[in-house]
Chains A and B, each alone.
Chain A
Amino acid sequence: MAEDLAVKIKKKWVPVYVVLLAATIVLLAGLYYLYTLTGSSDYSTAGLLDAAVVAYIAWSLYKLVGLKFKPREVVTLVECGKCGYREERPYEPGDFFFKEKGKCPKCGGPLYVAGIYVKEEGEEASFKPLPLSSSLATFITAASGMKRGE
């Protein structure tokens, strides 16, 4: 889904996040300073709330910076019909399955296109429980005397 574009649009927000993060950190430092000066619990409460905001912005920024668009490389797999030698080469326009692609460097037999595919693949979506759910499940199974997976 226009992945390259989506990544570009999201990356535009990085400076905004950085400014926000810097501002909230400065505010946090200020609140801490005021708290040490006055000892008022108002400053510590505000400081705690600000710390939560700092953590949230830092986490969002971390995720944003980690966004990468991985270009997918198309390769042509050539195979020797005689000795079974295989080699992956960059795809060339005009390649199609079973097309002859010269001679085998090992035995001199005919090379043909055995496959055309993309090398890079996206991550498989799979069920990944949150750390808390996983720990809870371990605790429940241990408490009930069951083994995981039973």
Chain B
Amino acid sequence: MDGTTYDLIVTMIVLMLFAYLSRELEVMRAISEIEGYLALFKQSRDKAFDTLVKKIRSLSTLDENTIKEKASQLIEIALIFPVNLDPYGIVEKMRHILYTAEEEVEREVTSIAVKASRVEVQNLTNLAEAVRALNYLYKVINHYYLIARKFKSLWLILQLNALLPFVSEEVKALEGAVKAFKHGLPIGDAAGPYVIAKLARALGAERRYEPVKDTEIFYVEKEGRKIYMVKAKGPGGTVGHLDDALRWIVEREDVSLLVSVDAALKLEGEETGLISHGFGVAMGGVGVERFRIEEIATERKIPLYAVLIKMSEWEASSIMSEKVYKAASKAVEIVKNVVLEKCMPGSTAVILGVGNTMGVP
């Protein structure tokens, strides 16, 4: 080695330059990736919005500009959940807000799409919800991207970049939902209601009740057991009010078993259509209905049994896949056997088919 001080300084400067350039390149790569994702999210949002406008146009008498304005209002609706500083009674407050929103949005959709039937109103409401979620996701990601650029924050950019694959999964799921809601096709989440509808037919349900809005109850006596089967009322897209239906049943019967059937999110690597069993109430969402069902079951010491049909988030929101359909068909027999095994003759069982019943009457 015969280097001089000058050589040493030059080498160090070159090394520092490379370190700096490497970081700059990494940031540029992350930024271009975020911008690519953002462009796709925007495209998805715009396409979904156009679908909503077209659907409304086919069912409305309003002019184009008013339809666009009303559709924009529909996708900008915000739900403000109650203050949780004092969580006592928060579930009832949330329920009140959710019910109010549900009724008001449906009323708004009915007033825009005057030619729509009840089923079409439900499907349109679902479609507006999916577009709203897409719009919200795009806006949030765009907000963080702009903030990161504004403050030239490397860490914000890298965090956002790391999150994008998960967000894009959600966007993909919502895109699938838009396609399904547009045509009123059953989605993967309809597996629960489908199991109930098929089981009710297989067992030859004798009676049908509709004591609660958007919810139906089938009743049959099988081998000395009283079986109530509850699902949202289709074929319009709704999840019904299974908690209220269950309360209606327990006020009349001494229930000794509660089985819930629902689509459950699978982990990456798990097979779609895997059926697993569990204890508790199989139900997603905000948790208001599940809380109330758990409360009823705990008050009356009703054993809770769950049958889960595994699928990805995308499969749950998109048009039902063949694998999910086959799994749901298999689950019908499983649920029947569970009820016959765990419910003694002379007692009563309730089966809840949880999920959006679009396409399943």
Is A118 on the interface with B (CB-CB < 8 A)? Answer: yes
Residues of B within 8 A of A68 (CB): none
Residues of A within 8 A of B171 (CB): 1-2
Cross-chain contact A98 with B269 (CB below 8 angstroms): no
Residues of B within 8 A of A2 (CB): 40, 43-44, 47, 171, 175
Cross-chain contact A116 with B268 (CB below 8 angstroms): no
9 closest Cβ pairs, A-B complex: A1-B172, A117-B325, A96-B235, A117-B320, A117-B322, A2-B40, A1-B168, A97-B360, A2-B44
Considering the complex, give the chain B residue whose CB is closest to the CB of A112: B201
Cross-chain contact B186 with A97 (CB below 8 angstroms): yes
Cross-chain contact A118 with B269 (CB below 8 angstroms): no
Is B183 on the interface with A (CB-CB < 8 A)? Answer: yes
Residues of B within 8 A of A19 (CB): none
Q: When the two chains form the complex, which single residue of A98, A118, A119, A121 contacts B197, counting CB atoms closer than 8 Å?
A: A98
Residues of A within 8 A of B43 (CB): 2, 5
10 extra interchain contacts, Cβ-Cβ under 8 A, other than A117-B322, A117-B324? A1-B171, A2-B40, A2-B43, A2-B171, A6-B40, A96-B360, A117-B186, A118-B320, A121-B322, A125-B269
**In the complex with contacts A5-B43, A116-B359, A96-B325 CB distance below 8 A:** no
The contact sample of 12 A-B pairs, CB cut-off 8 A, is A1-B169, A2-B175, A74-B185, A74-B319, A97-B194, A97-B235, A97-B361, A98-B197, A117-B320, A117-B324, A119-B322, A126-B269
Is A115 on the interface with B (CB-CB < 8 A)? Answer: yes
Q: When the two chains form the complex, which single residue of B183, B272, B318, B329 contacts A93, counting CB atoms closer than 8 Å?
A: B183
Is B68 on the interface with A (CB-CB < 8 A)? Answer: no
Residues of A within 8 A of B (CB): 1-3, 5-6, 9, 72, 74, 77, 91, 93, 96-98, 115-119, 121, 124-127
A31 to chain B, nearest CB (A): 25
Considering the complex, give the chain B residue whose CB is closest to the CB of A3: B172
Cross-chain contact B321 with A116 (CB below 8 angstroms): no
Cross-chain contact A121 with B194 (CB below 8 angstroms): no
**In whole angstroms, what is the CA distance A74 to B186 when docked?**
11
**In whole angstroms, what is the CA distance A124 to B36 when docked?**
25
Q: When the two chains form the complex, which single residue of A1, A3, A6, A117 contacts B319, counting CB atoms closer than 8 Å?
A: A117
- Total A-B residue pairs with C-beta atoms closer than 8 Å? 74
Cross-chain contact B361 with A96 (CB below 8 angstroms): yes
Q: How many residues of B contact A (CB 8 A)?
A: 35
Is B184 on the interface with A (CB-CB < 8 A)? Answer: yes
**In whole angstroms, what is the CA distance A124 to B269 when docked?**
7
Contact digits for B33-73, partner A, Cβ 8 Å, 1 yes 0 no? 00010001001100100000000000000000000000000
Considering the complex, give the chain A residue whose CB is closest to the CB of B194: A97
A63 to chain B, nearest CB (A): 16
Cross-chain contact B322 with A118 (CB below 8 angstroms): yes
- Contact residues, B257-288 vs A (CB, 8 A): 268-269, 271-272
**In whole angstroms, what is the CA distance A5 to B172 when docked?**
12
B320 to chain A, nearest CB (A): 5
Is B240 on the interface with A (CB-CB < 8 A)? Answer: no
Cross-chain contact A1 with B40 (CB below 8 angstroms): yes
- Contact residues, B141-175 vs A (CB, 8 A): 168-169, 171-172, 175
**In whole angstroms, what is the CA distance A116 to B185 when docked?**
8
**In whole angstroms, what is the CA distance A97 to B358 when docked?**
10
Residues of B within 8 A of A121 (CB): 272, 321-323
Residues of B within 8 A of A1 (CB): 40, 44, 168-169, 171-172, 175
**In the complex with contacts A1-B44, A117-B322, A121-B323, A96-B359 CB distance below 8 A:** yes
B353 to chain A, nearest CB (A): 12
**In whole angstroms, what is the CA distance A127 to B43 when docked?**
31
